[in-house]
Amino acid sequence: MRCECCHAEIPEYSAICLQCRNVVPYNIKGFMNTKQIQSIMRLLVSEHCDRIEDTQQLVGVVADMLPNYDEERILLIKVFSAGLMDHFLNESDRRTAVSNARDFLVKDLELQENEVEFVLAVVTYMLKMRYISKLIVRERSRANEQTEQKAAPVPIDLKVYRKVDALIHRLSRKIIVKEGFTKIDNYCFDGFGIVRNISLPQTLLAIGEYAFTDCKNLVEIDIPPSVKKIDKGAFNACVSLKRIRLPDGLLEIGDNTFLCCSDLETLVIPDSVSGFGENAFSGCESLKKLVVPQNVKFINKNAFAYCPNLVVYCHENSYVHKYCMQKKIKFKTQAAGTQLPGYDTKEEETT
C-alpha cells in the first residue's frame, strides 16, 4: 500500500506514513474492513463535500457508497442520523472534537468500545484529522490467518432460490424450500396469494427485497437462525401474518419490512437489531406488543405510522424509551439490565 499524500510505500501494519507522517488507513479490532471504509469515506468527502453538513444527504450517500458492508453501513448511518457530525463540524480544535464525539457515542448512543473506535477512526480519516485508535490491529499471527481462511463466510449469493424455482409452488398452501439455498431472491414469492406456511432452510443467509410481499394468506413463518439480512419490504402487505420469529444476528428491520401486516399482533425484536427503517411497521393495525432491545439506536420517524394499538416494551431511559415519549407512543419500561418479556423463551408473549 502507498500513502495517498506522498505515495511512499507503507509498511503493512503501520498507521503512519514514515515519509510524510500522515495517518494511513488501518483496521480496528472487530472491524476488519475499517481500511476499506476509511478510503471510501474519504472519497465521499472529495466527491460530495457539500453534503456532509446535511445529515439526511450524508446518510443517503453513505447508504449508496457502502452497499457491501452491512454492519459498518448500519452503524455509520445510526451515528450520523443521531447528529455525530455536529461534534466535528462545530469544533475547530481536533482534540476537543474527538473528545466530545467520544462522549456522545458512549453516553448518548451507548456504543461498545470497538464500535466507538471504529466510528472515530473512519470519521477522522474522512475529515483528514490526525487520530490513531488504541484498538488498531497491527498484525495477525500465521495461525490466526489460517483460522480465518478456514472460517471464511459462505457467500450470500452462493445458491439463490429464484422466482423460477418458486413458480411450481404458486398454487400450494405449504411451501418447503430445500436445504442448501443461501438466499431467497428479490420478489421471489411476490403475490403468492394461496400460501399459508413457508418452511425455510437452515442454510439460508439472506431474504431479498419484497421476497414475500403480498402473500395475503401467509399466516406464520420462522426465519432460520442463520439469516443475518432481511432486505426492505420482505413481508410487505402480508395481511394475514400473525406470527413470525426473527433470528438472533439480524442487523436491522429495513424500510417497509412489515408495512401493512395488519394481523400481526406481537413481535420480539432480537438483541442484534440496531434500527428500524422507514415504514418498517407502518399500517400494522393489530400490533399491540413490540419488544425492543436497548441496542436499537435508530428509528425512522414513520416506522410506527398507523399503529393505533401499539405498546412498545423497552428499557428505561433507552433510545427507544425516549423515542416513544417524543412520538407519544404507548410504552412499558423495565430497568436497564433486566430481561424484557419474550427473551427468556424467545416466544412472542401476548400479555
pLDDT (0 to 100) of residue 266 = 95
> Of the ranges 195-209, 248-262, 332-346, which one carries the lowest mean pLDDT score?
332-346
Look at residue 132 in the predicted model and tell me its pLDDT.
Answer: 87
Least confident of 7-11, 92-96, 156-160, 347-351: 347-351
Q: Is pLDDT of 126 > 50?
A: yes
Say which range, 22-26, 185-189, 232-236, has the weakest mean pLDDT. Answer: 22-26
Cell 416513544 maps to which residue? 324
Instruction: Report helix angle 113-126 to 94-103, nearest 10.
Output: 150
Strands 220-222 and 197-199: parallel
Domain boundaries, the chain: 34-142
3-state secondary structure the chain: CECCCCCCECCCCCCECCCCCCECCCCECCECCHHHHHHHHHHHHHHHHHHCCCHHHHHHHHHHHCCCCHHHHHHHHHHHHCCCHHHHHCCCCHHHHHHHHHHHHHHHCCCCHHHHHHHHHHHHHHCCCCCCCCCECCCCCHHHHHHHHHCCCCCCCCCEECHHHHHHHCCCCEEECCCCCCEECCCCCCCCCCCCEEECCCCCCEECCCCCCCCCCCCEEECCCCCCEECCCCCCCCCCCCEEECCCCCCCECCCCCCCCCCCCEEECCCCCCEECCCCCCCCCCCCEEECCCCCCEECCCCCCCCCCCEEEEECCCHHHHHHHHHCCEEEEECCCCCCCCCCCCCCCCC
pLDDT given at position 1: 56
Q: Which residues of 184-201 are buried (b: 16+ CB within 10 A; e: fewer)?
A: bbbbbbbebeebeebebb
| pLDDT of 15 higher than 90 | no
Query: Across the chain, what does the average pLDDT equal?
Result: 86
Identify the band that residue 202 occupies on the pLDDT scale cut at 50, 70 and 90: very high
160-161 sheet: strands from edge to edge? 160-161, 183-184, 206-207, 229-230
What does the pLDDT read at residue 154? 66
| Rounded Cα–Cα distance for residues 58 and 53 (Å) | 7
Given a cut of 60, whether residue 323 has pLDDT beyond it is: yes
With a cut of 60, say whether residue 349 has pLDDT above it.
no
Cα 26 to Cα 271: distance, rounded to the nearest angstrom = 29
Lowest mean pLDDT among 71-80, 188-197, 297-306, 341-350: 341-350
